[in-house]
Structure 1
Amino acid sequence: MSVTRTVELEGHIIDSGMMQQAFGIVMDLDGDFEVEQFDVGKDKESTSYCRLQVMAADQSTLQSILHELHQIGATLMDPVDVTVAPAPADQVVPNRFYSTTNHPTKIRYDGQWIDVENIEMDCAIVIEPAGSVDGGPRAYTKVLNAIKEGDLVATDETGIRVQPPERPRDAGGPFGFMQGGISSERPSESLIRQVANAIEETKAQDGNVLVVAGPAVIHSGAGDALADLVREGYVDSISAGNGFATHDIERNLYGTSLGMDVETLEHPRKGHKHHIYTISEIIRAGGIQPAVEDGLISGGVMYECVTHDRDYVIAGSIRDDGPLPDTITDAVEAQNAIREQAHEADMVLMLATLLHSVAVGNCLPSTTKVVCVDINPATVTQLIDRGSAQAIGMVTDIGTFVPTLADFVLDDE
Structure 2
Amino acid sequence: MNFQMPNYKHPDFDQEPFLSAPDARIVGVEIDGVAPEHYHALSIYPEYFKINGEWILASESRMDGVPVLRTVGTIEVVEFRNLQVGDKAIIGRTEDGSEGIYVYAKGFSSNDTNSDLFAFRSGRSRETAFSKDYNDLYELLNYERDNGYIVWVLGPAVVFDYDSRQALSTLISNGYAHAILAGNAMATHDLEAALFGTALGQNTYNQQSPPNAHYHHLDLLNKARDTGSLKMLLEKETIQEGVVFSAIKNNVPLVLAGSIRDDGPLPSVIADVYQAQDEMRKHTRKATTLICLATQLHTIAAGNMTPAYTRQNGEIRPVYIYCVDIAEFAVNKLRDRGSLEVTTLVTNVQDFLVHLKNNLVQVGDGS
Is the pair's TM-score, using the shorter chain for normalization, greater than 0.5?
yes
Superimposed CA distance per residue, residues 77-101 of structure 1 (whole angstroms, 9 cap, x where no aligned partner): 7211110111111101101100111
Give SS of 1:393's match. Answer: strand
Counterpart amino acid of residue 145 in structure 1? R
CA distance in 2, matches of 1:360, 1:149: 28
The structure carrying a bigger strand percent of its residues is 1
Q: Would you say 1:149 and 2:76 are equivalent positions?
A: no
**Contact kept? 2:323, 2:344, Cα under 8 Å:** yes
1:326-373: CA deviations, max 9, x gaps? 101101001111111101110011111100000000111223101111
Kindly tell me: are residues 47 and 359 of structure 1, through their superposed partners in 2, closer, same or farther at Cα, counting changes over 3 Å?
A: closer
1:242 aligns with 2:184: yes
C-alpha separation between the residues in 2 aligned to 1:75 and 1:95?
26
Q: Relative to 1, partners in 2 of residues 1:75 and 1:203: Cα closer, same or farther, differing over 3 Å? A: farther
Superposed displacement of residue 126, structure 1: 0.9
1:379-398 equivalence runs, <5 A: 379-398=330-349
User: Which residue of structure 2 lines up, in the alignment, with residue 316 of structure 1?
Assistant: 258
Q: Which whole-Å CA distance do the structure 1 matches of 2:123 and 2:237 have between them? A: 44
AA of the residue aligned to 2:76: Y
> Secondary structure of 1:411's partner?
coil
1:390, distance to aligned residue in structure 2 (A): 1.5
- Hey, what's the Cα distance between the residues in 2 that align with 1:161 and 1:119? 12
Q: Which is further off, 227-236 or 296-305?
A: 296-305
Matches of 1:191 and 1:106, distance apart in 2:
32
SS at match of 1:302: helix
Separation in structure 1 between the aligned mates of residue 9 and residue 292 of structure 2, nearest angstrom: 34
Counterpart for residue 223 of structure 1: 165
RCO comparison, higher one (Cα < 8 Å, 6+): 2
Calculate the TM-score normalised by the size of structure 1.
0.75
Structure 1 residues 301 and 80: CA distance shift in structure 2, 3 A: same
Q: 1:102: Cα distance to partner?
A: 2.1
1:371 matched to 2:322? The reply is yes
Root-mean-square deviation (Å): 2.4
Structure 2 CA distance for aligned equivalents of residues 309 and 389 of structure 1: 30
Q: CA deviation at 1:220?
A: 3.1
- Structure-2-length-normalised TM-score: 0.85
DSSP-derived class of the 2:361 partner: helix
Partner amino acid for 1:156?
Answer: G
Q: Paired residue for 2:104, among 154, 163, 173?
A: 163
**Quick check: 2:46–2:103 contact (8 Å CA) kept in 1?**
yes
Gaps of 5+ in 1: 1-44, 50-73, 130-135, 172-179
CA contact (8 A) 1:193 1:408 kept: no
Match of 1:336 among 275, 278, 295: 278
Q: Who is 1:257 aligned against? A: 199
Aligned residue number for residue 240 of structure 2: 298
Structure 1 distance, partners of 2:305, 2:38, is 22
Provide the rounded CA distance (Å) in 1 between the counterparts of 2:133 and 2:185.
Answer: 28
Question: Letter of the aligned partner of 1:139 in structure 2?
Answer: I
Structure 1 counterpart SS, 2:332: helix
Structure 1 pair 108–375 and aligned structure 2 pair: CA distance change class (3 A): same
> Is the partner of 1:117 in helix, strand or coil?
coil
How many angstroms apart in 1 are the aligned matches of 2:169 and 2:10? 43
> Which structure has the bigger radius of gyration?
1
Identity of aligned pairs, percent?
A: 29
Match of 2:126 among 174, 178, 184: 184
CA distances 1:193-246 after superposition (whole Å, capped 9, x unpaired): 321121112224x10111111001111331110110001111111110111010
Does the CA contact (< 8 Å) of 1:202 and 1:347 recur in 2?
yes
Deviation at 1:273, TM superposition (A): 1.1
